[in-house]
Amino acid sequence: MRLLAPIVSLFGAIAITVASPALATRAGTPATDPAFGRCLGSLRGKAATAGVPGAAFDHYTATLAPDPSVLELLDAQPEFTTPIWDYLAALVDERRITQGREMLTRHAGTLAQVEAEYGVDPATVVAVWGVESDYGQVFGKRPLLVSLATLSCAGRRQAFFQGELFALLKLLHAGDLSAEGLTGSWAGAFGHTQFMPSTYARIAVDFDGDGRRDLVASIPDALASTAHYLKRAGWRSGEPWGHEVRIPAGFDTSLAGRKNKRTLADWKARGIVRIDGVPVPASDTRAALLLPAGKEGPAWLALRNYDAVFSYNAAESYALAIVLLADQLRNAPPQQAAWPTDDPGLGRDQRQQLQRLLLARGHDIGEADGLIGSLTRRAIVVEQQRLGIKPADGRAGKKILDALQSEARPAHVNESNTVPDSSDTER
């Protein structure tokens, strides 16, 4: 759950807030920052009103120093737009599908209990976990109390973040969480489920029975809390999230959109058919038509459970990533229609391959970590220009990967000891 959701436009481009290297200033200005100290003093009384005893407030805030870099992230504008197929290629890639299937097996017992209690199927719960924290591998690196205290004392959303800070302090004071090493996103989402503290306070459950709701250290607590969230958001047990469909030629695409609900009978009458050939029932079940890349791209009829997933982060691309990943985890047919591009997006392993090829060509882009930052983009622009790939936009797609890969291979392999010509890789 992120505070600033990626927004999908009607044109299928999504805006993602990205930290540029210039924004990555160091945390920890002097602890004696007088304005910050005065702010904490004033928050102490408000916190008491919100249910945080003064002694607890002092205990957890005494050594905090503000981190101005989170304020820059709060106001950061999207640096570039990413097509939805790039976003989905990275979130629903082979690695996340393989690991998700492993998690389904490893936690089968817990997931069955979770389904019995909340009515949400294992594949959906695991898909949320995979998208939120990569199955507990990515929690966010920023000290949580520092970020929330900073955002509570400066910036344009102080009242909101004060509420989150007080919610976190109450969770710490109640003993649900340990403050030591507690990190999260810059905006305060944390743990396996990336809940904000107020959501955590409202939704988190103790499922392993140790008396603590711990979504950082307990996988059973995290899986059950995810299912609890979806149940509270209106999840209907046993129903599908939706179906991939085909729209007829000349279809009025202004009818699309998550909020434009019509009955399945109505969609059927307008010529919409399921892509797997199963007839759309002429029922009064309400559904929305999703065309995230316009009429030339894939189409889905989304039912009530799609909305439950959507509410987790309020972004269409995000919800699609979860339901499409869940389909893969339960071995349902993958998306059939192609995205309207001749240059498909890359999964994380392919992104790392691309970065290794860029490094081999002498581009100083740091580690091949699969994250496409401004250094990688700049290197891609140079290579696109050199290879005549248009537009030279710095996008990490299949075209540039294929071009660099075919260059890296020897042109003629006639002998067993032929090695790639590396004369042009060290510039």
Contacting positions for Ca ion (CB under 5 A) = 206, 208, 210, 212, 218, 221
What's the closest the beta carbon of residue 232 comes to Ca ion, in angstroms? 19
Give the burial string for 98-118 (b: 16+ CB within 10 Å, else e).
ebbbebbeebeebbebbbeeb
What's the closest the beta carbon of residue 218 comes to Ca ion, in angstroms? 5
Q: Of 212 and 348, which CB lies nearer to Ca ion in the complex structure?
A: 212
CB 86 within 8 A of CB 395: yes
What's the closest the beta carbon of residue 171 comes to Ca ion, in angstroms? 12
Helix, coil or strand: residue 183:
strand
Q: Of 185 and 218, which CB lies nearer to Ca ion in the complex structure?
A: 218
CB 127 within 8 A of CB 361: no
What's the closest the beta carbon of residue 59 comes to Ca ion, in angstroms? 22
Joined together, the tokens standing for residue 255 give 């009818």
CB 256 within 8 A of CB 272: no
Q: Of 150 and 218, which CB lies nearer to Ca ion in the complex structure?
A: 218
What's the closest the beta carbon of residue 357 comes to Ca ion, in angstroms? 45
What's the closest the beta carbon of residue 219 comes to Ca ion, in angstroms? 10
Closest CA to 216 of 233, 200, 199: 200
How many Å apart are CA 143 and CA 60, to the nearest integer?
12
Closest CA to 303 of 262, 254, 251: 262
What's the closest the beta carbon of residue 217 comes to Ca ion, in angstroms? 8
Q: Of 72 and 206, which CB lies nearer to Ca ion in the complex structure?
A: 206
Q: Of 164 and 214, which CB lies nearer to Ca ion in the complex structure?
A: 214
- Give the Å distances, CA to CA, from 171 to 96, 256, 353, 406: 31, 42, 42, 54
- Sequence-separated (6 or more) residues with CB below 8 Å from residue 340: 12, 293, 294, 296, 297
Q: Of 226 and 350, which CB lies nearer to Ca ion in the complex structure?
A: 226
* Closest residue to Ca ion: CB criterion: 206
Helix, coil or strand: residue 263:
strand
Q: Of 164 and 221, which CB lies nearer to Ca ion in the complex structure?
A: 221
The residue type of 159 is: A
